Structure 1
Amino acid sequence: MLSSLKRIFSDDAQWAATRTTAAFSARALLSVGIALFLAFSFQLQSPMSSVTTVMIVANPTVGALVSKSVWRIIGTIIGATISVGLMAVFVQSPVLYFMGLSVVVGLACMAATFLRLFRAYAAVLTGYTIVIISAPAFDNPDGIFLSAMSRLAAVVVGIVTTAAVFMVTSPRRSDTLFIQIHGLFRDTVNYILAFHQGYSNVPAQNADAPPGSTFRALPSTFHDSRAAMLTRIARLSDAVEYAAADNYDISVRQREIRAGLARLSGIVASYHPHTITPADTEQDRAVHGEIVAMLHTLLDLTKDQALEAMWTQGCARIQHARAIMIDEARATHSPRSLLFLDDIQDLLGQIDTALQDLSRRGSAGRRLRLQPYLEWPTALRNAARGALITLLATLIWYVLHWTAGPTMMLYVVAAASLLSTLPSASRAAGMMAAGTALGIPAGLLCHIFLLPQIDGYPLLWLSLCIMLLPGVWLQFHPKFGVGGFGYGVFSTVMLQVNNPIHYYNDISLFNGWMALFMGCIMLVLSFRVILPPNHRLDAARLVMSLTRSLHRLALSGRRQGKEWLVWENLQLQKVIRLAMRLSFFARPASMHEYIDAALATLSLGRLIERIRTIAGSPDIMGAQQAAIYDALDTFSELSHNPLLTAASLRRAATILCPPDALTLRPAAQVEAMACLEQAARIIEDIPGFLDQRGPLQWAEDYPAAHRPPLAAVRTEAG
């Protein structure tokens, strides 16, 4: 114990984390005290509903306090309206009412899956409010409106109190976020630098050899570092969206910053084993040296200057390096060097644009509207789970006439809605149920030792603080956060502190605790047994979604008004979800292969976009343009016969610019040839990933599921 305390005080990172956790715990418990005091002062029927609301809406993420509160109040009002409407329509038909309630809760769970960040709490509180308003009115439907007003008041008290406390006590400084963005940009530059420095000692190869895709010079931790970088960028993008709601400096540049972060994630994702690597020639060494020198210049410029102060110098240096890459590409006679130079000059353009987006207002990123990926299978599954568990709970209460049935309904609806906001609801269901179950003995101890001693409000608040502190504190723990959240939220239900307080009704207490325990069992059964996840099927659907996106991009280009970055960011969201799904069942080696292949599809999409752009150049003749579009048309066969698509791309490349005519053709033809060759090579690297009969598309018990992850299903392009 003493050694652990020593580490906390001696380690700056641990001490900072401890202070953050303690500050959040203090804010949450202060909100609990004020909300409960106001609920008692207003003589509300169920003052603990305000405490439960505080525990639901108190979020460790600082920012967007006003927006979060507005969305929560909107969800509460919608829930109250639906609750009164359902009771009015089905007042004489309990079974129909239960069915209608189940459908509404299912829709709330689906909306919670789709909505991002604090907006998801509108859906959560919709389902939660419906049940806490309906539960007291089951015995007396005529009192539903008064019940709605009372419970609505308790929920609003909790929401407003939490927002006020966190707004007054939470620091809202933009410089901290800008420092994080500055550090992330430098780390991205270092990430790129490590790649190119790693290849500086690759043994000499034949410059005219076919393009290779080895990562021999990269450290063994490359995949982990790439995943960490992508996760860090995603979290910072969420933090920007949070901060933009109540910080002017961030709000006026929110679109540019988020676009810049999206470009950085695209840059990080572009480094994978299917990237073209340069041959070890004098020309390629010079190119490599220029890239390293440019990256070192960026690091030197950002060492003591903010991005806002150095972006003009940095962009000028990047553009100078890019011009050198373009000149070298026009002068090269090596197909492999041409592919590498063509790829790297495009990447430098991305770095240039990202730096501008992160550094100034009014850059190209301002017009972009990044779109979230809507994973319909997961949302529909969560909707079915929420509807099913609600219907089961209501029917159990209706058939058994169990007096604690409404308590069980309150738990399963609130828990199902909250779980629907998480990336993996089934995985978190067990932790939330365990945290809730641990609240039962804690509630028993509180009723035995703490509540009988109170003689006023201060001691009641102190008792609640002692009871809730473990759950509030554990919300910051990466492993036990969901369990701590379940404990903190639903422990308030177990105490049954009403107005006036009655803490001596043991039968009522144990009845309520049994209802919550039954709710925990039903939650786990619904999310993990009755409707369990199929991570392999979800991963296969994501892979096919990536392939279909390439198909649509090749055949019709971008949708009208949709920028390339929007498309790329949407696909990258799929890759991140794919990585999460694969982590549940795939071996690390296979998982790395699949993720590398998924990131290669992003590179393939960028090549398709460039090919379509070049095809409109005046230097591309009619027959050559027809060859390009014919090759792109074969992307309709990408999921059936990827090698056929690759062969068509190579034929088009030969028509545009034969290898022996590199110096005789216009630059546009040479660039188009390079893009077509590189796209063909990527497809030839990952045919098993793109094929709809690939290993991932089969169930685990099929022999075809155990083929090499990326090997071609059909070995001939025919």
Structure 2
Amino acid sequence: MKPQHAIKQASSDSFGWRAGMLRAIRDASEDWATTDGLIWLHLFKTVAAALLALGIAMLLELQQPRTAMTTVFVLMQPFSGMVLAKSFYRIVGTFVGMLAALLLGALFPQQPELYMLGITAWMGACVAAAVRYRHFRWYGFVLAGYTAVLIGIPTVMEPNALFLAALTRAAEVAIGIVCSAAVSALIVPRRSSLALQNALQSRHLNFTVFAVKVLDGAVERGTSQRYFADLVDEVVGFEATRAFAAFEDPGVRSRSQVLARLNHEFMDVCARLHALHQLRKRLRDNHSVRVLESITPYFHELSRLLAAHQERRFDSSDAARLALGLKHVQSTLPASMRAARRPLESDEPQCLPDFDTAGELLYRFIVEFGRYIDTYASLAKNHNPARERPPVRYVSRTNGFVVACTFARTAVVVGAVSWFWIATDWQSGGLAVIGAALTCALTSSAPNPVKLGLQMTVGAAFAALAGYLVTCYVYPAIDGFPLLCAMLAPVLAAGTFLAVRPKTAGYGVGFTVFFCLLAAPDNVVVYAPDLLINNGLALVAAMLATAIGTALVFPVQMPWLIARIEGDLRSQVTLACKAPLAGLAQRFQSSTHDLMNQLRMLLPRRSRRHRNALRWMLVTLEVGHAAIDLRSEIERASYAPDMHACWKPALDRVAQDLAALFERPDKARADAAQRSVRAAIRAVQRVLEIVHEDRDRRHDQQRILSSLHFIRTALLDKDAPFDARSSVPTPSPKARLR
């Protein structure tokens, strides 16, 4: 017999083993539920909504239940707010597209050439407007375009059936919208508002950690650029999430303006932190040891304050405590900086501009961060500070040439396929036009539409093959709607599984959408394999032609077109220097981030051109913010022109030369901007000597000097991209001959 203690030990070991096994299973289950489990949940909900839409459309004996299924696959998103937002814009787009189809049918009855010319122009205009107005507004314009095609193409030569077809198509689309929204909102809903809240907390935590590193001087060269580049995507993504979360949650809708202001203030804080980081880097590169020693204690004080509030769950109470700490630092910083400045006045007066600029930037960062934290803390309170301030609006900007090229590309592709259809009287030509229009619409917002179009073409080819097998071997062998659902579910689930994976999304979208168009059952199933094969070939050929046309006719990634967007990014400094000051900071910040987000989508990551665009964005934010600060201080110091005749002209010259430099950067304009900044500094210093006894006016001129000095350091930065073009040596004639 075993001793009693051995039995107890064995029992204890067995219990510990089981507890460890249960803990491992629980952890694995939680990890699966937050990763792959979400994918399978979305897959189940999408297939369920599609089959529900199919059943309701069949029950109502609509003409093409497959349209309701197609609507579901185009509409479904992981979050219910996304579905509701897309549903709203789809309803608007469908209604407008229906009106366009009816109007064109009334203008050109039994005139296919003119009718297709009108459809082509309408489709091109809608896709171009979709590129101009992105996010979920894109979807409304796209729907307005291809809904007119879906309604009008089958009835080109039958104007009497156009009105009935429009009403039927609207009913089928409405069923798909209702089923998508109901399934998304009722079956294990994933709330966009929760995703928005988690994004807020995660973004704040990551920013606080990075800010501590910047203030401590522990950021490696290159790391800051990558971090600020990722912030661009976060800012743009947050704005999109805020927009569609307002559709599902009344609380988010009521606080939408607070969230918009929070996003804008976060951009301001990031810009201030980057300015601090750049100034510290330049002081270190210039070996300004005395200035660094003088300002480091204040950086460390703020760093310790932020490090003490790095909670994983940063809520409104934590924000309130941090806001109090920031206000204390803000109130004590000016006196402390003046005390630290006195030794420099006598020992090293040449260091005073750097010290003053660092103090001003640190103070502005604390003020902006405190304002951001106050807004963050107000999210959970009844008090709404946004109502006490002017409303904030996110401004997106799209280059006019991008819009024009999109119109031309879409018109050429759809027009060529339409011409081929009319010229050859191809039986499946109408479906080919529909396939070309759908491909142009669905790839219009993709960073690489050619690649996405080719993926959708492959998906459509497999959809035609699967449709042939289902039509020939599955439909004749089943009876009843439940068995139909059981047979269709695996096919639809396979396509949906591909669609939710980023690398295979094009294949999945092409498979699911065009399987529904080709082989989804109607109320009266027509067993015509030859027609299905012809339609499948027509779709694949049209989509392949669309991909080729997209690659040849004004391709999205043309260097010339990307250079135009880069020029728009640089011209943001012209906006900062010349536009009216009211609301300027908001327009400048949001449009700059929006333009950089477009470039990040078009340019390959880790490429030389992407790095160059990122450098331009960062220096644009630096100089643009400083120019706005400078203009605000100039407006406040209205007394200065009377004291010195050169004061105002010198500062106006700075704005003109900065705008010229960023519009057409080269070494000559960079030198001219540096000269104008030096001349403005001298003029401001003369006014400072005159008003030195007046404390308020002295501070006004010192803030202007700090802005000018920071602009000067940005222009003198050895890493600045201003003379990047001229830095490449031009080969001599002898070198060319060699």
What TM-score, normalized to structure 2? 0.84
Q: 1:605 to 1:96 in 2, by over 3 A?
A: same
Q: 1:659 to 1:578 in 2, by over 3 A?
A: farther
Match of residue 116 from structure 1: 134
Match of 2:308 among 291, 300, 303: 300
Maintained 8 Å contact 1:60/1:476: no
Letter in 1 for 2:308: D
Match of residue 681 from structure 2: 653
Letter in 2 for 1:676: L
- The reply on whether 1:86 has 2:118 as its aligned counterpart is no
Match of residue 42 from structure 1: 60
- The reply on whether 1:572 has 2:593 as its aligned counterpart is yes
Match of 2:603 among 573, 582, 588: 582
Match of 2:197 among 174, 178, 194: 178
- Kindly name which structure, 1 or 2, has the bigger radius of gyration based on alpha carbons: 2
Letter in 2 for 1:652: A
Q: 1:454 to 1:289 in 2, by over 3 A?
A: farther
RMSD: 3.1
Letter in 2 for 1:76: T
Q: 1:463 to 1:573 in 2, by over 3 A?
A: same
Letter in 1 for 2:68: S
How far apart are residue 178 of structure 1 and its match? 2.2
CA distance in 1, matches of 2:560, 2:318: 48
Match of 2:261 among 240, 259, 278: 259
CA distance in 2, matches of 1:566, 1:399: 50
CA distance in 2, matches of 1:120, 1:8: 42
Which structure carries more helix by proportion? 2
Maintained 8 Å contact 1:325/1:344: no
The residue matched to 2:486 in structure 1 has which SS? helix
Letter in 1 for 2:165: S
How far apart are residue 171 of structure 1 and its match? 3.8
Q: Which range moved further: 96-105 or 485-494?
A: 485-494
Match of 1:392 among 393, 396, 416: 416
How far apart are residue 75 of structure 1 and its match? 1.0
Q: 1:449 to 1:355 in 2, by over 3 A?
A: farther
Letter in 2 for 1:271: H
How far apart are residue 551 of structure 1 and its match? 2.2
CA distance in 1, matches of 2:300, 2:719: 33
Match of residue 560 from structure 2: 537
The residue matched to 1:271 in structure 2 has which SS? helix
- The reply on whether 1:418 has 2:446 as its aligned counterpart is no
Match of residue 365 from structure 2: 347
Match of 1:525 among 548, 552, 559: 548
Match of residue 318 from structure 1: 326
Maintained 8 Å contact 2:209/2:310: no
Maintained 8 Å contact 2:463/2:514: yes
Letter in 2 for 1:511: N
Match of residue 607 from structure 1: 626
The residue matched to 2:356 in structure 1 has which SS? helix
Letter in 1 for 2:403: A
Letter in 2 for 1:226: F
- The reply on whether 1:487 has 2:530 as its aligned counterpart is no
- The reply on whether 1:362 has 2:380 as its aligned counterpart is no
Q: Which range moved further: 651-660 or 159-168?
A: 651-660
CA distance in 1, matches of 2:401, 2:558: 11
Alignment of 1:151-550 (within 5 A): 151-169=169-187, 170-172=189-191, 174-175=193-194, 177-199=196-218, 217-218=219-220, 221-269=223-271, 271=274, 274-277=278-281, 278=283, 281=289, 284-285=292-293, 287-301=295-309, 303=311, 306-327=314-335, 330=338, 332=341, 333=344, 334=351, 335-360=353-378, 361-364=383-386, 367-502=391-526, 504-550=527-573
Maintained 8 Å contact 1:65/1:246: no
Maintained 8 Å contact 1:84/1:145: yes
Letter in 1 for 2:48: L
CA distance in 1, matches of 2:569, 2:444: 24
CA distance in 1, matches of 2:266, 2:233: 12
The residue matched to 1:500 in structure 2 has which SS? coil
CA distance in 1, matches of 2:73, 2:619: 43
Maintained 8 Å contact 2:47/2:489: yes
Match of residue 149 from structure 2: 131
CA distance in 1, matches of 2:401, 2:553: 16
Maintained 8 Å contact 1:294/1:317: no
How far apart are residue 102 of structure 1 and its match? 0.3
CA distance in 2, matches of 1:188, 1:225: 9
Maintained 8 Å contact 2:413/2:549: yes
The residue matched to 1:63 in structure 2 has which SS? helix
Structure 1: where are the runs of 5+ without partners? 1-5, 200-216, 696-703, 710-718
CA distance in 1, matches of 2:678, 2:634: 16
CA distance in 1, matches of 2:611, 2:279: 15
Letter in 2 for 1:540: A
Maintained 8 Å contact 1:446/1:467: no
CA distance in 1, matches of 2:77, 2:298: 47
Match of residue 70 from structure 1: 88
Q: 1:610 to 1:161 in 2, by over 3 A?
A: same
How far apart are residue 660 of structure 1 and its match? 12
How far apart are residue 528 of structure 1 and its match? 1.2
CA distance in 1, matches of 2:492, 2:654: 63
Maintained 8 Å contact 1:543/1:690: no
Measured against aligned partners, the alpha-carbon deviations of 1:203-252 in whole angstroms (never above 9, x if no partner) come to xxxxxxxxxxxxxx516544333333332343233222211122122112
Q: 1:93 to 1:690 in 2, by over 3 A?
A: farther
How far apart are residue 509 of structure 1 and its match? 1.1
Letter in 2 for 1:678: F
What TM-score, normalized to structure 1? 0.86
Q: 1:589 to 1:530 in 2, by over 3 A?
A: closer
Q: Which range moved further: 116-125 or 324-333?
A: 324-333
Match of residue 562 from structure 1: 583
Q: Which range moved further: 237-246 or 678-687?
A: 678-687
Match of 1:149 among 163, 167, 182: 167
CA distance in 2, matches of 1:221, 1:613: 32
- How much identity, in percent, do the aligned residues show? 20
Number of residue pairs aligned between Structure 1 and Structure 2:
671
Q: 1:492 to 1:186 in 2, by over 3 A?
A: same
How far apart are residue 320 of structure 1 and its match? 2.9
Q: 1:294 to 1:324 in 2, by over 3 A?
A: same
CA distance in 1, matches of 2:34, 2:632: 50
How far apart are residue 173 of structure 1 and its match? 7.2
Letter in 2 for 1:300: A
Maintained 8 Å contact 1:261/1:358: no
Maintained 8 Å contact 1:40/1:47: yes
Maintained 8 Å contact 1:468/1:488: yes
Match of residue 202 from structure 1: none
CA distance in 2, matches of 1:130, 1:137: 11
Q: 1:70 to 1:475 in 2, by over 3 A?
A: same
How far apart are residue 99 of structure 1 and its match? 0.8
The residue matched to 2:502 in structure 1 has which SS? coil
CA distance in 1, matches of 2:26, 2:67: 36
How far apart are residue 562 of structure 1 and its match? 2.2
How far apart are residue 275 of structure 1 and its match? 4.0
Maintained 8 Å contact 2:619/2:720: no
